[in-house]
Amino acid sequence: MKILLSGFGVVGKSVIQLLEEQRALLYAKHGLSPSFVGVIDSKGAAIDPRGLDTALLLETKEKKGTVGAMPAHGVRDAKEIDIITESEAQLLIEATPTTVRTPGPALERLKAAFRTGKHVICVNKAPLAVAFPALQELSRHNRCQFRYSGTVGGGTPVLALAEEVTRGCEVVSVRAILNGTTNFILSKMDKEGWDFDKALAEAQRLGYAEADPSSDIDGIDTATKIVILANGVLGRPCTISDVKIQGIRGLPLSTVQAARKAGKVIKLIAQINRDGLSVSPQEVPADSPLNVGGSLNCLGLELKTGGEVALVGRGAGGPETATAILRDLIDIWHSIGSAR
């Protein structure tokens, strides 16, 4: 399968490394032989319809800072959309780190892929948060496969398992912890008695939080994930504008301590019910499945006939997200094989 990769940061490099490690197994078990015919980063691109040398790709990125400097195949000034529309690739992996404030470029890349008949694996949450229903319709109209399991839960197959669990069951409500950074902060406040600022600083020191942690602590990241879950698993068309969002920025330690005295903990909860979609800090009983510590995520589903189901796992990270991409790739490969 010929693949075009957009985004060559931590996730993009992890994808290439994982596929190379698994190359023999992928062919033996699935008859799949992936070939990267194009890689785009923020400063350039590398293109070869015969397939790029992945070791040289990684070396060039490490030494030169861009794949655009790759000997013979590097391109410095080509437009991303032109590369996508003109590429012979069968599939686009969208792995750039955009935000819901600037989803436009990623959105245009996905549209260009679908319009030229390319299947898509997307681990960029932003375009899905603002235009999921439209992207899903465009993929169906052009008979393209669309997978995005790495957008929620990283390496933990949250979306796939949620879809399996809810098959044939009516979902009454969803309550979930979908952001490891905020869960780490709240866990430190609860267990160690730290105030918000100290817990946030520790999260940044350990690499859980970015220098600008707004997306995490203001609830935006969690909101994007609940939108993807609502659309992709529950078939509930919505965008991030439909979510009521309240983050944990500046949460008083006294609030956490009061909950603790009452036998509860404060968690940033993403919720879907009859009233709509919301993200807010809420009290959770200490013995609840949602009381997970550290940077763990938890998805809680209340089913009309199956009771309550909870799934716990680790969230995002380069290798973890690459694992999700690999699962999606295998899924698409078998889907298009069945169609043939």
Looking at the annotation, which residues are catalytic? Answer: 225
**Residue linked to tokens 């070396």:** 59
Per the DSSP assignment, residues forming a β-bridge with 19 are none
CA-nearest of 70, 97, 75 to 86 is: 75
- Contact by Cβ (8 Å): 37, 4: yes
The closest alpha carbon to 46, from 91, 83, 95, belongs to 83
| Backbone torsions φ then ψ of 84, nearest 5 degrees | -65, -50
For the beta carbon of residue 270, count every other beta carbon within 10 angstroms.
Answer: 30
Q: Can you say whether residue 219 is alpha, beta or left, with left for phi > 0 and alpha for psi between -120 and 50 degrees? A: left
End-to-end CA distance of the chain: 14
- The order of strands in the sheet holding 35-41 is 74-75, 44-47, 35-41, 2-6, 91-94, 119-122, 146-147
Backbone φ, ψ for residue 269 (5° rounding): -105, 125
Pull the structure tokens for residue 148.
């995005």
Tokens of 48: 């070869």
**Tokens standing for residue 224:** 């994007």
Could you give the C-alpha distances from 238 to 103, 148, 232, 246, in angstroms and in order?
16, 16, 10, 18
How long is the chain?
A: 340
C-alpha–C-alpha distance, residues 58 and 214, integer Å: 31
Burial of 121 (0-12, 13-18, 19+ CB in 10 A): buried
Nearest to 60, CA basis, from 48, 72, 51? 72
